[in-house]
Amino acid sequence: MENAMAQIAWRWENDLVLLNIPLFSLFSLIFGDNYSFNGWL
């Protein structure tokens, strides 16, 4: 049971990373260097 929970959490974190990349790119286009993707890494 714990292993299944760990897999779900791992997949959820990876999905957030994939979603955050275009979000940060969009912020950098709208707001400029203050919200650039490199600034968040």
Percent of the chain with pLDDT over 90: 0
Higher pLDDT residue, 16 or 40? Answer: 16
Average pLDDT value for the chain: 71
Is residue 41's pLDDT more than 70? no
Output the pLDDT for position 7: 84
Is residue 38's pLDDT more than 60? no
Q: Return the half-sphere exposure (C-beta side, CA atoms, 13 A cut-off) of residue 8.
A: 5
pTM of the entire predicted model = 0.31
pLDDT in tens, 18-33: 777 777 777 777 776 6
Indicate the Cα dihedral angle 9, 14, 20, 21, nearest 10°: 170
